Amino acid sequence: MKIHLQQGDITKLKVDALVNAANNTLLGGGGVDGAIHQAAGPELLSACKEIIDKIGSCATGEAVITKGFQLDARYVIHTVGPIWHGGDKREPNLLASCYWKSLELAAYKELSSIAFPNISTGIYQFPKELAAEVSIDTVSEWIKAEPDTSLKEIYFICYDEENFQIYEEKLKERHLYDL
Ligand code: APR
């Protein structure tokens, strides 16, 4: 298993699955969600609408999977991060669930690579330091719990410099990343 840290636009990655920081409607939005829908083309929205017709809405902390359409990524895993309300509304647990359920879906599809954006740290205003701790710790726990997984490469994709520096520091502290 390799953990990678990169700064840039997640839509450019050629991996088996990109994770999207979506909302409960799965109908697109701004931020990384808007960028992924724009790059994947209109078929992505149609696929999301089909899912919503079946399930009504995607609950916070849950994840669903579609094809990647015009992306280089084969699949998009749409997960709904929590909106930050101060920290006493189970926000860290819900954020951890986003990472865990996305990894479960990728493993269920027997994928070998997955790329995560910094879920909830934009429009949803989750504090970046805490979000990085939750995501790195959840991914580490999942790897330990699933030693025989098909997943071989996990990418943390930071769009902004601040998140990149936070991740670099935390991955180094945990000996998960060598520069
Ligand atoms: N590639 C990688 N990361 C990106 C990109 C991109 N192209 N664009 C933005 N980001 C980063 C942001 O810098 C932020 O760190 O993604 C992180 C998550 O930010 P948002 O996209 O704002 O997502 P989030 O905070 O989870 O809010 C979700 O925003 O777009 C809407 O529909 C979405 O309502 C939902 C809400």
Which H, E and C letters describe 86-148, residue by residue?
Answer: CCCCCHHHHHHHHHHHHHHHHHHCCCCEEEECCCCCCCCCCCHHHHHHHHHHHHHHHHHHCCC
Q: Residue 158: which H helix or E strand, with range?
A: strand 153-158
Is residue 27 within 8 A of residue 48, CB to CB? The reply is yes
CA of 162 from ligand 1 middle (Å) equals: 14
Task: Kindly report the backbone phi and psi dihedral angles of residue 139, in degrees, each rounded to the nearest multiple of 5, phi listed first.
Answer: -60, -45
Alpha carbon nearest to ligand 1 atom 35, residue: 23
> 98: burial class by Cβ within 10 Å (0-12, 13-18, 19+)?
buried
Residue minimizing CA distance to atom 21 of ligand 1: 31
Closest approach atom of ligand 1 to CA 126: 25
Pick the CATH number of 2-173 from 3.40.50.2300, 3.40.220.10, 1.10.10.10, 3.20.20.60: 3.40.220.10
Rounded to the nearest angstrom, the distance between the alpha carbon of 147 and the centre of ligand 1 is 30
Q: Is 72 a catalytic residue?
A: no
Per-residue model confidence as pLDDT tens digits over 94-148: 999 999 999 999 999 999 999 999 999 999 999 999 999 999 999 999 999 999 9
Give the DSSP letter of residue 38.
H
CA distance 95 to 100: 9
Question: Per residue in 31-58, pLDDT tens?
Answer: 999 999 999 999 999 999 999 999 999 9
Tell me how far the alpha carbon of residue 149 lies from the centroid of ligand 1, in angstroms.
28
pTM of the model: 0.98
Which residues sit with their C-beta closer than 6 Å to ligand 1? 9-11, 21-23, 29-35, 81, 117-124, 157, 159-160, 163
